[in-house]
Amino acid sequence: MRRLPIRLRLAIFFAAAAAVLLTTVAAFGYLRLSSGLSQDLDRELRQRAQDLIVPVSRPGTSLEDLAGTGFIERGESFAEIVSPTGRTLEATSTLHGEPLLSPAESGRAAEGTITLDRDSAPGLDEPARLLATPFTRHGRHLVLVVGDTRENGLETLRRVRTQLLVGLPLLVFLTLLGAYAVAGAALRPVEAMRRRAAELTAGDPSLRLPIPPAADEIARLGLTLNELLARVELTLERERTFVAHASHELRTPLALLRTQLELAVRRPRPAPELVEAIRSAQAEVDRLQRLAEDLLLLAQAAEGQLAVHPDDVSVDAVFADVRSRFLAAVSETGGSLEIERGEGVVRVDRDQLHQALTNLVANALEHGGSVVRLDARPLGDRVELVVKDQGQGLAPDLLEHGMERFVRDRASTGAGLGLAIVATIAEANGGTAGLRNVEGGAEAWIAVPVSPAQPAAAEQTSHLDRLLAPPHRSSGSGSARSPGSVRRGAGRARRSHR
């Protein structure tokens, strides 16, 4: 049954339900007709008995004299008078004097009226019904028995039964055809959707399914599928953009690396120039390594295979590592990377948190203002690690979609993976990430869980304070800053991706 088309299954189920309903109604009607015919025959026999009691109670009146007078019709109706012991006293000629009741039945009839069915009455080869009722003649208790054939009623029932046996299957068959046609009309919009869906291809994902005019379940299904197709189209578009920009991001450092190597070997160069070329190549290789790590992390997260190894991580230690990574890259510019607060211990994967903060700082150094600040803000059971720049702020579209893969930056100068990596890492470590505009710039943040074993704030000793404090700084100072300007590199830092 499950392999049949849904249209045929609907028609079969509807026809089966109609067959059950029609059979139930027909059986009920047939039983009511049979009961009605039986009750009509009983009333007729009671009326006949009442009409006969008066004349047969008078002396000198016999049943034979009353035959054909209206009290007893000639042919299929008959009557008989018997004693309480079952002896036949009078009978119509069709009975040939044969008793209709047994002695036991005669005794019961002498006490009250009874009704009996016979498969065949004497003189008649047809089923009959008898009614026996007591009466008195000259003070003697007798029993009057009247009867009539049941063949007329049975013949009526046979005709009705024959008509039902022929008509019911025909009605069920017509119901099946009608249900099949109605189901086909109801499913016609589904077939139209199927044909349109067969035309959908990855090359033209903008096609949508036709929606029927009626606001029914099929229309709602079509709307839901069209919404799904819109999401699929958006996903395909983002994947194409992802591949295009990933290729661009990889091509740029590879091209620079190739150029630098070609220039290094084109003619003999002094050692300092070769060292500079090697350092430049090393920077591009480092950029390629970060891109490869970002792509691998996104792929693992998409497949649900991103492994997280949470540990108790000191915020100031992570800030110090991130700062040290960018020291060489920003040493030639007039900007600065400042650290305001770094207190706290969080429960995260150390390498992944380091990667997230590195991406945020690289993004801020490339697109922000002259000063970038790192800050740690306690928020209940989480710590919000903030990277603030002094740029022109973020556009509303970027605020909403900035954490998605390869979203155009605020200046429409390129796209990258950095913010998408941050969002992926935050989610994997049980945290959140986002962007917001603040006075004097913009902030990118990642909130991660606080370590359950974090000591009280009064007992914490800032690792950043020990690293960054100048010789004249007192031990009770609040925020930590770099001893001087942490400069941003002009070329390579600007190429850091989002």
- Tens digit of each residue's pLDDT (9 = 90 or more) over 62-97: 776 666 555 555 556 788 889 999 888 888 877 877
pLDDT at 168: 93
Query: Is pLDDT of 280 > 50?
Result: yes
| More confidently predicted of 352 and 295 | 352
Report the percent of the chain where pLDDT is more than 90. 26
Place of tokens 């047969």: 56
> How far from the centroid of its chain's Cα atoms is residue 417's Cα?
34
pLDDT at 191: 85
* 7 strand-pairing partners: none
| More confidently predicted of 260 and 322 | 322
Average pLDDT over residues 292-299: 74
pLDDT digits (tens, 9 = 90+) for 395-410: 887 777 777 765 544 3
Q: Which phi and psi (to 5°) does residue 484 adopt?
A: -150, -165
Average pLDDT over residues 13-36: 94
Residue type, 183: A
CA 77, 82, 88, 91 dihedral sign is: negative
Q: Which burial class, exposed, middle or buried, applies to 214 when counting CB atoms under 10 A from its CB (0-12, 13-18, 19+)?
A: exposed
Q: Are 277 and 260 in contact (CB under 8 A)?
A: yes
| More confidently predicted of 50 and 411 | 50
| More confidently predicted of 368 and 99 | 99
Q: Which burial class, exposed, middle or buried, applies to 406 when counting CB atoms under 10 A from its CB (0-12, 13-18, 19+)?
A: buried
Collapsing DSSP to helix, strand or coil, 141 comes out as strand
Q: For residue 118, what is the enclosing H or E element?
A: strand 114-118
Report the percent of the chain where pLDDT is more than 70. 81
Q: Assign 416 a pLDDT band (cuts: 50, 70, 90).
A: low
pLDDT at 134: 94
By residue count, the chain amounts to 498
Architecture of domain 6-153: 2-Layer Sandwich (3.30)
Residues 6+ apart with CB under 8 A from 140: none
Average pLDDT over residues 127-144: 90
Query: Is pLDDT of 172 > 90?
Result: yes
Residues 6+ apart with CB under 8 A from 175: 14, 15, 18, 19
Residue type, 343: E
Query: Is pLDDT of 469 > 50?
Result: no
> CA–CA separation, 298 vs 451, rounded Å?
26
pLDDT digits (tens, 9 = 90+) for 237-257: 877 777 777 777 777 778 878
Query: Is pLDDT of 57 > 50?
Result: yes
HSE on the CB side for 302, CA within 13 Å? 12
CA 57, 61, 64, 67 dihedral sign is: negative
> CA–CA separation, 14 vs 349, rounded Å?
61
Average pLDDT over residues 340-346: 87
Q: For the chain, what percentages of helix, strand and coil (3-state, to nearest 5) are there?
A: 50, 15, 30
| More confidently predicted of 357 and 338 | 357
> CA–CA separation, 490 vs 311, rounded Å?
36
Give the lowest-confidence range in 72-76, 111-115, 409-413.
Answer: 409-413
Average pLDDT over residues 423-444: 89
CATH of segment(s) 217-302: 1.10.287.130
Q: Which phi and psi (to 5°) does residue 139 adopt?
A: 75, 5
Query: Is pLDDT of 412 > 60?
Result: no
> CA–CA separation, 260 vs 115, rounded Å?
122
* 445 strand-pairing partners: 386, 434
Query: Is pLDDT of 384 > 90?
Result: yes
Tell me how crowded residue 3 is: count the other CB atoms within 10 A of its CB: 5
pLDDT at 326: 79
Domain ranges of the chain: 6-153, 217-302, 311-468
Q: What is the mean pLDDT of the chain?
A: 79
CATH of segment(s) 311-468: 3.30.565.10
Average pLDDT over residues 468-495: 35
pTM over 0.85: no
> CA–CA separation, 444 vs 326, rounded Å?
18
